[in-house]
Each structure stands twice: as structure tokens, then as C-alpha cells.
Amino acid sequence: MISVEEALAQCLALVAPLPVEHVPLAQSCGRYMPQPATATRDQPPFAASAMDGYAVQGDPAAGDRFTVVGEAGAGHAWHGTLGPLQAARIFTGAPLPAGATRVIIQEDVTRDGDVITLSAGADTGTHIRPAGQDFRAGDTLSARLLRPNDLALLASMNVPLVPVTRRPVVAIIATGDELVMPGETPGPDQIIASNSFTLKALAEEAGAEVRLLPIARDTVEALSFVLGLAEGADIIVTTGGASVGDHDLVAQVAESLGLQRAFWKIAMRPGKPLMAGRMGNAALLGLPGNPVSSVVCAHLFLLPMIRAALGLPAEAVSPPPRSALLAQDVGPTGPRAHYMRATLTQGEALPLITPADRQDSSLLSVLSAADALLIRPAGDGPRRAGERVSYLPL
């Protein structure tokens, strides 16, 4: 058995950043932009009014009167030049007329025909947005996972096509004669397949394109056929069939199809029978069949592989554990690292973490209630309530 850290390093060695493609701005949210985007214009491209009011020249005082000689609206500049004691009616976002140095907000004047009079106690702000106040042509937005707010900035930078990493294609294969799909009627010795749906959701949330393939039955022929359907995937994920029983055929069949195995079995719980390797142009990750083991291993290994394929920086591929304080005493771990389902509550300086009473790897109800994995290193002794520990958010 190898350690979790060794297994992760070997999993990451199986993937490389995928090529860059350009997608329309409207389709770029949630995609990873691996190179900076460059603004092609200043924002704003001209000095603009920040308020509805009147553009004037100089620093007027209460009682000063101005003659309104023009009007400027958003998208409709007034092309004249203001002189002393002249004003232009102006609206928010409109270009500032030549000669104007200030915008008087409309609430601070009285108007009679084409003449405005500045009221006492008027706001003294200029209410002008200088050209290039937000950014200048040539400024860049750094590489990042694009959020909705970033799209507004890219649009203002006049970037219609965004360079993003191609989404890794992840093919998910559940294996086992005991499985049927939700909605089907299980036989007396069958269960509902559950792993694939969480794995699909996790992978898609991480930025992958997912192909959910048919359940592979426990025969060489069936497994070979379904593995063949994964042709073209960047990462193939199997669940079940990676242990040592007579019906655990994943390694046997995958090796007959060219799998070069990187490792098998890791010193962790849940998730000991994990397998990974390279099969043709794809990385293969063989997850345990137990539902909780499968999901925990997906958080630890599959998601970092997807992030690495997207080209995310190292610190984002496998984020470091967070810190919390134990809310209760816990016992020793034994020879394998233990990733315990747990819940977080608010603490004074750090959150408090409470491991679930039941940690059996088949208990999906416990997984559903958890929002963290408490990390217990291999060989760790008993810990007391209040001690600082590490966890991964779920």
C-alpha cells in the first residue's frame, strides 16, 4: 500500500493540461481561462457623467445662474463646447462636453426655461468619471476560473471570444451484477446504483464534461464492451471491481486493453482498493464500489486530476486542508489514514468539527449529513476535544 500523498502524486502524473479553445463570452462562465485577457479599449472610453444633472465650467457658488445650451444622454454626446455661465443638461453615463469641469446634480438647481440657478448647500463633488478610470487598453485580467462577475469585465474589455481550457471528458462506469439504475425494480439480491450520480455532479462542478456509461456486468465481455464505449475520454472512472475477488475484473480487463497500472491499494480508509493507471490516451481511475469510499476518493483524487487537466495552478489543484478544533475526543487511527465524515459548527476563532458516530463506508445517509472530512493521519494517537485538526470541506 502507498500513502495518500504518493497516490495523489501518481494520479496527477497521469494527466496534463488540455489544449486551449476559444468560446463565446456568454458560454465562458465556469471555464478556466489559462492565459490573461487583454483590454482593447479604455473603460470608460471618455470622461462621463456619474449623475443626472448639468455639466458646467468652473466652481460655481450658490445663486450662480447658467444658460442651458445643449443636452447629452448615454449614447448621445453633445458636441458643442461649454463656455462660462453655460450648462448642458446631462444624464448618467453620457460623455462630458468639452469645456465642462463639473456636473451639478439635478436636485441642487432650480430651472426656469433655459436658465438654472444653483441652490444653497449644493453638493460640491465633481461627479465625473474620468476616461480610463476602471481600466486602460492593454490592461489584463489574469488567468482564473471565470465567475459571473468576470464576464462583465471581459465584456467591457471588448473580449467576445475567451481562451479557455478544453473541458476534460470524464467517462464514468459502474460495475457489478448487483446494480440496477434508479427507477428499475431490483431483484432480491440487487441494489440501486448510486455512486455514478454523485461522481457525475462532482466532476461537472469541477469543470469536466461527463459521459455516464451503462453499468458493466461482471463478465469480461461486458466490461470490455463498456470500456470500449469510453473511447475518446480523457479520464475513465470505474466504480467497483477493483478488489481481489473472483468477480473483480476491472484490472484484468483494463490490462488486456493496454492499461499500464501506476498503483493499486492505498493506506487510507475508506478507500483502500483504489487503482490508477494509463490506458491509451486516457487516465484510468478505479474507485472502490462502496458508495462512501467512492465519493471520498473522488474528492481526494478525481477532482485534483480534473483541475490538473484544466491547467489550474498547483495550489488550486489540491487545496491544502483547513483547520478546526475537535468538538469531542477521538480514538487512535491505526495503520491507515482515516477520512472521517464530520460536521462543522461555528467556533470563536476556528470552526468546531464533530465526526459522525458511524463511519461504515456504506452509509450514504451519514455522507449526506456531512459537510467535512476530518483527516486523521496514519498512526495518529487519541485526540482530545479542543485540539487543532485538519479537514477538507465537502
Q: What is the pTM of this model?
A: 0.87
- Each residue's pLDDT tens digit, 150-184: 999 999 999 999 999 999 999 999 999 899 899 98
- Each residue's pLDDT tens digit, 218-235: 899 999 999 999 999 999
Measured from the Cβ of residue 91, the count of other Cβ atoms closer than 10 Å reads 17
- Each residue's pLDDT tens digit, 277-334: 999 999 999 999 888 999 999 999 999 999 999 999 999 999 999 999 999 999 999 8
Q: pLDDT by residue for the chain (394 residues), tens digit each?
A: 899 999 999 999 999 999 999 999 999 999 999 999 999 999 999 999 999 999 999 999 999 999 999 999 999 999 999 999 999 999 999 999 999 999 999 999 999 999 999 999 999 999 999 999 999 999 999 999 999 999 999 999 999 999 999 999 999 999 998 998 999 889 999 989 899 999 999 999 999 999 999 999 989 999 999 999 999 999 999 998 755 554 468 888 999 999 999 998 899 999 888 999 999 999 999 999 888 999 999 999 999 999 999 999 999 999 999 999 999 999 999 899 999 999 999 989 999 999 999 999 889 999 999 999 999 999 999 999 999 999 999 9
Q: For strands 144-145 and 115-118, give the pairing.
A: unpaired
The residues pairing with 387 across neighbouring beta strands, listed in sequence order, are: none
